[in-house]
Structure 1
Amino acid sequence: MTGPPDDCLARNEWICGEYLTTRRHILLDAVVQHLELTAVSVAVALAIAVPLAVVARRWSWASGPVLVVTTVLYTIPSLAMFSLLLPVYGLSATLVAAGLVLYSLTLLVRNILAGLRAVPEETRQAARGMGYGPVRLLLTVELPLAVPSAMAGLRIATVSAVSLVTVGAIVGYGGLGNLIYAGMNTYFKAQVLTASVLCVIIAVAADLLLLLVQRLLTPWTRATGS
Structure 2
Amino acid sequence: MNVFLDAIAWLVDPAQYSGSNSLPVLVGQQLFYTFISVLIAAVIAVPIGWAIGHTGRGREFAVAVSGAARAIPSFGLLILLILLLGVTQKVEAAFITFVVLAIPALLAGAYSGLEAIDRRTIDAARAVGMTEWQILWRVEVPLGLPLLIGGLRSAVLQVVATVTIAGYTDLGGLGFRIIQGIDLRAIDQVLGAALLLALLALALDAIFALLQRLSVPRGVRAAEPAPERRRRPVAATA
Match of residue 62 from structure 2: 66
Structure showing greater radius of gyration is 2
Match of residue 34 from structure 1: 30
Match of residue 215 from structure 2: 217
Kept after mapping to 2: 8 A contact 1:37/1:93: no
Structure 1 residues without counterparts, runs of 5 or longer:
1-11
Distance 1:225 1:153, change over 3 A: farther
1:57 maps onto 2:53 in alignment: yes
Match of residue 235 from structure 2: none
Q: Give the whole-Å Cα distance in 1 for the aligned partners of 2:147 and 2:16.
A: 41
Q: Give the whole-Å Cα distance in 2 for the aligned partners of 1:136 and 1:89.
A: 46
Once the two structures are superposed, residues 170-196 of structure 1 have per-residue CA deviations (whole angstroms, 9 ceiling, x without a partner) of 211251011101111111223212211
Instruction: Give the TM-score of the pair, scaled to structure 2.
Output: 0.82
Deviation of the 1:60 alpha carbon: 4.4
Instruction: Give the TM-score of the pair, scaled to structure 1.
Output: 0.86
* Aligned mate of 2:13, from 20, 23, 34: 20
Once the two structures are superposed, residues 131-150 of structure 1 have per-residue CA deviations (whole angstroms, 9 ceiling, x without a partner) of 21111111111011111211
Structure 2 residues without counterparts, runs of 5 or longer:
227-238
Distance 1:22 1:49, change over 3 A: same
Q: Give the whole-Å Cα distance in 2 for the aligned partners of 1:202 and 1:19.
A: 16
1:158-173, aligned counterparts within 5 Å? 158-173=156-171
1:134 maps onto 2:132 in alignment: yes
* SS across alignment from 1:23: helix
Matched letter for residue 211 of structure 1: A
Distance 1:173 1:220, change over 3 A: farther
Q: Percent of counterpart pairs with the same letter? A: 29
**How many pairs were matched up?**
216
Deviation of the 1:55 alpha carbon: 2.6
Distance 1:15 1:60, change over 3 A: closer
* Aligned mate of 1:81, from 77, 80, 85: 77
Matched letter for residue 16 of structure 1: A
Match of residue 116 from structure 1: 114
Query: CA RMSD for the aligned pairs?
Result: 2.3
Match of residue 91 from structure 2: 93
Distance 1:162 1:221, change over 3 A: farther
